[in-house]
Amino acid sequence: MKNWLETKLEINHGENTPLLSMEGLRGLAVFLVFFVHYSSLVDPFLFGFSVTLSKFINGFGHLGVDLFFVLSGYLIYGSVLDKKTFSPINYAKRRGQRIYPTFLVVFAIYIALSFIFPSESKLPDKTSEMVTYIVQNLFLLPGIFDVKPIITVAWSLSYEVFYYLIIPVVIFSLNMKKWDVNKRILFWISVSVAGIVSWAFLGGPVRLLMFISGILLFELHTKKQCKIEKGGDFFLIIALVIFGFRAVYDFSFLLSMVSVFILFLLFCLCAFNVQSKTYKWLTFTPLRWLGNMSYSYYLIHGLTLKFCFLVLGVVLPAEYVSEHIYYWLWAPLFALTLITSFVLFLVIERPLSLQVSRLPKSSNKLKQLTSKAAAD
């Protein structure tokens, strides 16, 4: 079984092989997102201290998406900046191939279930409005634009697509490839400050800030060779605590995001250092495997949880509440989300979106990747 899982979940990205800890970071990100939806759905069954705890965990679970944004900022910016020849067509094709096959399958499931269970449907009643709404979702407009997503988590894809579109334009229009590293760092810090001031007075999609955190991460880690050996876990915990308490006490979202912008930058710098303890736990194999199928997990886990709680609503007595259900129910439900996500990954994402060779011998490959990471 272990060897079979290795052939399916160990991924070799060729010349673009990421640090092993980045796979673990993706796993951590979707694990955090799981608790957002788990906490929201289990909430009606709770009372006592578990209600406050659920709210706290729900609050910091949202940072899973922000961690994804940091990693996308790092990877996409780096791939465009360092690429010797850039083809807009190939770039757009690759981005579309990475997003759409898995998205379309899950989207089709949501549409079908909307007709089967109309009480759970988000589709408008009028046909013309329904068609418009479906098209808006197919073009990944929810999130940046004021459109409710059919797939709850798909709002973040509009942020991703916006970043995919804008970053090559910025790099090539400003000829940033020829800039000194320090000049680029100063530029992106200035953009961050301008964005913070703008969002403070005008509002807007402040979470775009996290992509710039990833850009600075690339410049500091790859170009400046900055390393942090200690404190990674502390930076992560502080970020989680800030957003956890914010969910309970409701203080400034903008200031919280600015704090996470800095904390995640430091956390990832430590995570990319093979000498750090943070790197070691992030390269735990099951966590990396979860990271490698994180896109499938991200899209399908909410639907799996929704189904489970619909069943619970039928099985459990009416008005059932418990102070302890939160603590023991998450593990079996998380296991179920792993199963559905793995099937989606195996059938759709892996063959249609990941144009990479698989690793026949993961143990040997892991040593090679670790050596490469250390050399980098």
- What's the mean per-residue pLDDT of the chain? 91
Question: DSSP secondary-structure letter at 12?
Answer: E
Adjacent-strand bridge partners of 322: 46
pTM greater than the 0.75 cutoff: yes
Name the pLDDT band for 1 (thresholds 50, 70, 90): confident
Q: Is 46 helix (H, G, I), strand (E, B) or coil?
A: strand
**In the predicted model, is pLDDT for residue 89 greater than 80?**
yes
Distances (CA, A) of 45 to 48, 78, 317: 11, 45, 11
**Are the beta carbons of 102 and 190 closer than 8 angstroms?**
no
* pLDDT the model gives residue 329: 96
| 104-113, 173-182, 313-322: least confident range | 313-322
- Position of tokens 């073009």? 139
Mean pLDDT of all residues in 164-181: 96
The neighbour count for residue 309, using CB atoms within 10 Å, is: 20
Domain locations in the chain? 2-375
Adjacent-strand bridge partners of 145: 142
* pLDDT the model gives residue 319: 87
The neighbour count for residue 311, using CB atoms within 10 Å, is: 10
**Are the beta carbons of 45 and 322 closer than 8 angstroms?**
yes
* pLDDT the model gives residue 362: 42
Adjacent-strand bridge partners of 358: 11
